Homo-oligomer: A and B are copies of this chain.
Amino acid sequence: MRPPRPPLGPPRGRFVSAADVARLAGVSRSAVSRAFTPGAQVSEQARARILEAAEELGYRVNRLARTLHQDRSDLVGVVGGNFSNPYISAQLDALSRALHARRLQCLLMNSASGGDDLGRLLDYRVRTVVLLSGAAPDTLIRLCAQNGARMVLINRPRPPEGARADLVLADSAHGGRLAADRLARAGCQNVAVVISGSRTSAKLDRAEAFCSEMALHGIPVTRWADGPNSYETGVEAARALLIPGDRRVDGIFGVTDEIALGVLNTARFELGLRVPEDLSVIGFDDAPISGWSSHGLTTIRQPLEALTRATMEAITLPPEAEPVLCAVPVQLVERGSVRAPIT
């Protein structure tokens, strides 16, 4: 039960307003506003009395109303498709911390549930929309432009010409080449690349670069592209690709760690293959669980800190600033799921 209120308090079940505090402290509502505005002119006694009254009532400044007055809100819309994906969730964790540190709020939207309801983010006057998954729908691009909200795409496909959006991209092409070279040095003769079915994304660039680099080495590549970006997709791919025979696939590149782990585990535990002796597997992302000793996945690392830092820089740019393109370097992380180089 709530303790009985003093007569001056606000009614039950409603938020406390500055007027309530003013009444209790015996000042005008303006004074309350000033007491919570740094640098505003209030006497020390009044401020003390106001803060005391606010504390007693549990008052907090209504940032929604404050936003009406200012040109930008503190809200940043963050869109993701699958927060239980190991790399996405690591990204979200880092990003939400960084936003918090800059006193920005994170309005989360799961794009897996609805269609292109992403425009609803604009209903809340978000200053910026950040996309972690999926492609940016044209309607969202237009809405952001018309309303002066920035848009940050992380490892997302380049929007159509003329669309204003900040791009934060890991060097997918270089990563794809690194993966190809590593499998070639391991002596693989017959390799495959596993992509999810979604066509429009940085994953395609990784796969493309992998294939063309492999062509330079003269090694044939089988492409598997089906299903969502998930562990199960890796499982399915492994079952289909790793049929016994004289020219069995001996190296697989999964365009995300989650896919690669599905391949790795299926090969080891369901098909009875030895990794890396019979099969080399390499991933992309370097999700935290890829380093666990149960997996030991060799992968292409996208540094999360650099990605987050670049994202925060784009987020905090003023709305009229020119869009930014930031490329983040990637690197090979050796863990043992790829055979040692033959010399």
Complex: how many Å from CA A10 to CA B106? Answer: 27
- Copies of this protein, total: 2
Q: Which of A80-88, A168-176, A177-185, A325-333 contacts B (4 or more CB under 8 A)?
A: A80-88
Complex: how many Å from CA A86 to CA B258? Answer: 13
1/0 per residue A105-138: CB within 8 Å of B?
A: 1111110111001011011110000000000000
Q: List B contacts of A289 (CB < 8 A).
A: 86, 289
- B142–A58 touching, CB < 8 Å: yes
- B82–A143 touching, CB < 8 Å: no
Contact of A293 among B13, B89, B105, B266 (CB under 8 A): B266
Chain B, Cβ-Cβ closest to A58: B146
Total interface residues in chain A, CB < 8 Å? 74
Contact of A100 among B101, B114, B145 (CB under 8 A): B114
Q: List B contacts of A12 (CB < 8 A).
A: 148, 320
Q: Which of A91-99, A191-199, A243-251, A309-317 contacts B (4 or more CB under 8 A)?
A: A91-99
- Rounded to whole Å, the gap between the CB of A64 and the closest CB of chain B is 4
Complex: how many Å from CA A97 to CA B1? Answer: 32
- A122–B60 touching, CB < 8 Å: yes
Complex: how many Å from CA A119 to CA B63? Answer: 12
Q: List B contacts of A78 (CB < 8 A).
A: 108
- B96–A109 touching, CB < 8 Å: yes
Q: Which of A40-48, A66-74, A219-227 contacts B (4 or more CB under 8 A)?
A: A66-74
- B57–A64 touching, CB < 8 Å: no
Given the interface contacts A68-B65, A145-B2, A294-B265, does A100 sit within 8 Å of B84 by beta carbon? no
Contact of A83 among B83, B164, B295 (CB under 8 A): B83
Query: Residue A16 at the B interface, CB < 8 A?
Result: yes
Q: List B contacts of A320 (CB < 8 A).
A: 12-13
Q: List B contacts of A58 (CB < 8 A).
A: 142-143, 145-147
Q: Contacts A1-B162, A60-B119, A62-B123 known; list 12 others, CB within 8 Å.
A: A14-B148, A58-B147, A64-B64, A64-B68, A65-B68, A68-B68, A82-B93, A84-B92, A96-B108, A97-B110, A106-B108, A107-B107
